[in-house]
Amino acid sequence: MGHDINLELKTLVETIVRDLLEKAKTSKKERKKVLFVFCDSSAHELFTDQFIQLNNKEIDYDFLFLDGETSAWLGLHQIESTGSTKVIAADEFAPAPLELPKEYDAVVIPEIDLDNAARIALGLKGSVKAEIVFSALTLGKPVIIGEDVPGIKRSDRRTLKKLSLPPAYQKLFIQYKEDLKNMGIILTKQREIYRTILEKLKGYETISSDVNKGKSFQGNVVTADWVEYHLKENDSLIVDKKVLITPKAKDILNEKKIDVKFVQG
């Protein structure tokens, strides 16, 4: 009798463990994963808040740091992912940059420089960034690039003590950015990168802070008193789709001609 009970308990434990492992595997598969390519190992610090936003929305991310000019060129280093939210390692056993985008749902390059923009726009490879973008576009993966950048490498800025390109190069850089857009690459403000990722990978409708200056509501229920106190005529109101708006509040919103925008928060 005791043997039968022990056997049943063992079977039950095995079933529970198997179920938990299966759920963990399924949960892991549902999370999207993004590759961030940075110029150096300090460039990511400006995006800490955006990483928190992505993590809260169940999007994983890896970092690839290209410290110095030499490590940005093929033939000198290869790269591999060491796991979610970890730094990409470089050694002779890692896969080539061309293979890297296969493991990600999107590639993000927060800062692009003139020569890499030129290589990508002209269909040339030879640098890690150009190789990764070529691979991602060929595989049909979204490529997101920061547009509000000077076009001159961080290392070059430090060496030359200059923050921007000369006029002739600036004009060329602007043209290359237009070419990148025409190729299907998404250019966005650096501070809006996480929003763009959510749009592409989660299908969220997000509001660009440059276009919409509406009041964002933080709470569960929009009341008439709140509308009266916080909004004036012809304002815009941004609310999560889950937020409730009372009938009286709706009447006041209509009276004040307030444009209400619903977002997936």
Q: What is the pLDDT of residue 230?
A: 81
What is the mean predicted confidence (pLDDT) over 154-172? 89
Q: Please determine, for residue 169, whether its predicted confidence score (pLDDT) is greater than 70.
A: yes
CA pair distance 209, 221, nearest whole angstrom: 23
Three-class DSSP category at 187: strand
Residues 143 and 68 in one domain: yes
Last residue of a domain, one of 149, 179, 202: 202
Q: Please determine, for residue 81, whether its predicted confidence score (pLDDT) is greater than 50.
A: no
**Which of the two residues, 76 and 15, has the higher pLDDT score?**
15
Residues 149 and 255 in one domain: no
Q: What is the pLDDT of residue 108?
A: 96
Residues 164 and 221 in one domain: no
Q: What is the pLDDT of residue 228?
A: 85
Q: Is the pTM of this model over 0.75?
A: no
What is the mean predicted confidence (pLDDT) over 158-181? 92
CA pair distance 170, 127, nearest whole angstrom: 21
CA pair distance 138, 122, nearest whole angstrom: 15
Residues 116 and 191 in one domain: yes
Residues 117 and 231 in one domain: no
Query: Which of 6-10, 213-217, 253-257 has the weakest average pLDDT?
Result: 6-10
Domain extent at residue 223: 215-263
Instruction: Take residue 39 and report the two structure tokens written for it.
Output: 């110029």
What is the mean predicted confidence (pLDDT) over 9-26? 68
Render pLDDT for 101-146 as a digit per residue (tens, 0 to 9): 998 999 999 999 999 999 999 999 888 899 999 999 999 999 999 9
Look at the chain and report how many structural domains it folds into. 2
Q: What is the pLDDT of residue 74?
A: 40
Q: What is the pLDDT of residue 113?
A: 93
DSSP 8-state symbol, 265:
-
Residues 162 and 234 in one domain: no
